Structure 1
Amino acid sequence: MQNLTELQTNGTSHRSLSVIIKVCVVIPFFCIFLCCIAVMLHIFASQRQFLDTSRYILFAYMLVNDTLQLMTSVLLFLFVMGRVKFSLVYCVPLLLISKVTFQNTPLILATMSLERYIAIIYPLRRPASWRSDRIWIIILSLWFISCIFPVIDFSIGKHDPAVDVLSTPVLCKTAVVNPSPIQTLIRAAVNVLFFAVVAVIILFTYVTILLETRKLRQDKVSLSKAMHTVLLHGFQLLLCVLAFTHPITESLIVLHANWQPEDVAFFNYFCFILIPRFLSPLIYGFRDQSIRGCIRKTFFSCSKKVKPWS
């Protein structure tokens, strides 16, 4: 009996330590991300020229979408880590926002690729819908496409009959709200469809842009920067679309590694959901000369306002 008690105590302490480590890894990254987003959104709001360019409007939209996604996903992560339970009427909206913004991210990245493709290949014949004053039509279309499958999924989902939607506290996870194996299979099929469509669009646009850049015979420095940017974009997009394959990766890791299921889920969450969104400000913001100059001016003006202690 004493050995059993010691085993349970050791298991509980090990889990508590694991939870503390995971929270201490996620929260600092999340705070740094919010600081970067706040600076960039302030720049977009204060600099009119950015709102007159489709590329920067899409970038600002991506920042807002990723902020919503990270806020809901980190909140859900903390609830699960702390074993916080509440009713489905509060859980489903959080899961819905998280799922919609999650699926919206690769669509935005694909749209940004298409925008660069159109700007380079057809600079004088740009379609009206891609102009800065009408880009909101494309943004609304992305939201509509992203909402279709999650809304259908949560609408037809059959939760446990013993769970009352208004009063029964549950862990806020998709597996609890929609436990049906058939729906899990449908979600996996939808994710694969997203992966295929987005991968084809991005591969086509970036290869075409790279070939067009070579035709323009730019200097080696500019070509090197373009290729480096393409590689960074490709790495981020690869991480984003790999998130759609998390049921497969979880199964493979469990089969070939002695990991706990919650550790596998955290690995996928950190590598394929958090990291790509942390890279967004770096790739699209700090590497852009115009935005980088505004960031430098912002920090410089803030440092001048700070008065030294007398």
Structure 2
Amino acid sequence: MSGLIMALVQVLVGIFLYVNCLMIFTFLNKAVFREDTRYILFAQTLFVDSALMVLTDMLMILSLYQYRIHMIPCIIMFVTAFTICTPLTLVAMCLERYVAICMPLRHADISTSRTRFLGLLIIWGISSVVPLFTLVAYLSVVPPGSLFSYDVCSVELMLGQEWQAQIRVTILQLLFLLMIIIIVFTYIKIMTAARAASSDNKKSTNKSLRTVILHAFQLFLCIMQFLSPYIEMVFLKIDVSVYGHLRYADFVIFIIAPRCLSPLIYGLRDEKFFHALKHHAFFNKLSLTMSLIISCGDGLPLKTKCY
């Protein structure tokens, strides 16, 4: 049964990565997207979510088969800044919508290349706080020789001491409390602007309001992702089989699901990006078909079948 569930999870991961790669390709091939703050932040979420998905999927597979790996690669996978980067980027997206709706005349002056660079620097800097603490705390409690040992890589291994888990959770709670406050603030401001907007601008304002709500839901799922390992550790002591099923459920609900919302919000709901995405998807299929036709026409060996 676990093998079937794992196969289904891998299908979901494959679909997710394919869609994300197609969207990243669309972003890179359109200069208008590379110069817009909201699309730059969106592209960052695509890249970060794809990298995080690959890492967490590898860890889940290794943990399922109890495969022992060297501790240094295990530590590197756990101290990555990718885990916090997506929630912070969601907050930055909400702030960008707040500026665009509530301060439209200043939006062009605020949304500059210098501001974008500073914003991305702040996002990655804050994202490194929790991984840096996890690394320092782990190195402070383990013997130096254990760094060159082999073990099953899991979050329980990195949070062996109770104080490590408690401090990590406290930092995450403070961080996410701050992010929730910012999102609620932007929601209230955009909702106020929506009520005061004219009929011409009301549609755009309401769409931005729905976008903020979706980002808030994403943030909630991301928060649950960080809390789920502590719940899993409790079930690990009670029943190993329940623990295994719980890990699958947490992976799908709190890791795959919130990261599927970003392509939905900006890839399908955004008309400009959706049209560009359809164009590249159709163009790639057409190019592949034409290359096969040309290859067949150039005289491939008789054994080769062209469909």
1:57 positional shift: 0.8
> What residue number does 2:284 align with?
302
* TM-score normalised by L of structure 1: 0.83
State the SS of the aligned residue for 1:179. Answer: coil
Matches of 1:146 and 1:177, distance apart in 2? 18
Matches of 1:233 and 1:130, distance apart in 2? 20
- The answer to whether residue 33 in structure 2 is matched with residue 50 in structure 1 is yes
What residue identity is the alignment partner of 1:33? F
* CA contact 1:129–1:137 (8 Å) conserved in 2: no
> What residue number does 1:8 align with?
none
Q: 2:228 aligns with which of 246, 251, 262?
A: 246
State the SS of the aligned residue for 2:146. Answer: coil
> What residue number does 2:303 align with?
none
What residue identity is the alignment partner of 1:115? E
Counterparts of residues 57-206 of structure 1 (less than 5 Å): 57-97=40-80, 100-126=81-107, 130-157=111-138, 158=140, 160-161=142-143, 164-166=146-148, 168-206=149-187
> What residue number does 1:40 align with?
23
State the SS of the aligned residue for 1:170. Answer: strand
Flag the 1:224–1:90 CA change in 2: closer, same or farther, 3 A: closer
* CA contact 1:129–1:138 (8 Å) conserved in 2: no
Indicate the RMSD between aligned Cα atoms, in angstroms. 2.9
- The answer to whether residue 262 in structure 2 is matched with residue 262 in structure 1 is no
**Between 272-281 and 150-159, the greater mean CA deviation after superposition:** 150-159
Flag the 1:272–1:28 CA change in 2: closer, same or farther, 3 A: same
Matches of 2:60 and 2:240, distance apart in 1? 23
Flag the 1:252–1:169 CA change in 2: closer, same or farther, 3 A: closer
What residue identity is the alignment partner of 1:95? F
Partner deviation per Cα, 1:46-75 (whole Å, 9 max, x = no partner): 110111111111111111111111111111
Flag the 1:258–1:93 CA change in 2: closer, same or farther, 3 A: closer
The alignment of Structure 1 onto Structure 2 pairs a total of residues equal to 290
Q: 1:280 aligns with which of 249, 262, 273?
A: 262
What residue identity is the alignment partner of 2:185? F
* CA contact 1:65–1:105 (8 Å) conserved in 2: yes
* CA contact 1:159–1:176 (8 Å) conserved in 2: no
**Between 241-250 and 179-188, the greater mean CA deviation after superposition:** 241-250
State the SS of the aligned residue for 2:147. Answer: coil
What residue identity is the alignment partner of 2:46? L
* CA contact 1:44–1:51 (8 Å) conserved in 2: yes
Flag the 1:43–1:135 CA change in 2: closer, same or farther, 3 A: same
Matches of 2:185 and 2:223, distance apart in 1? 16
* CA contact 1:254–1:264 (8 Å) conserved in 2: no
Matches of 1:67 and 1:254, distance apart in 2? 28
Flag the 1:253–1:290 CA change in 2: closer, same or farther, 3 A: farther
Partner deviation per Cα, 1:163-200 (whole Å, 9 max, x = no partner): 6211x210111221330100111111112112211111
- Where does the alignment leave 5 or more consecutive residues of structure 1 unmatched? 1-16
Matches of 2:136 and 2:43, distance apart in 1? 31
State the SS of the aligned residue for 1:165. Answer: helix
1:30 positional shift: 1.0
* CA contact 2:130–2:172 (8 Å) conserved in 1: no
Matches of 1:259 and 1:218, distance apart in 2? 56
Percentage identity across paired residues of the two chains:
28
- Where does the alignment leave 5 or more consecutive residues of structure 2 unmatched? 294-305
State the SS of the aligned residue for 1:263. Answer: helix
Partner deviation per Cα, 1:259-301 (whole Å, 9 max, x = no partner): 7223223322321122101221111211111110101211232
* CA contact 1:70–1:274 (8 Å) conserved in 2: yes
What residue identity is the alignment partner of 2:95? L
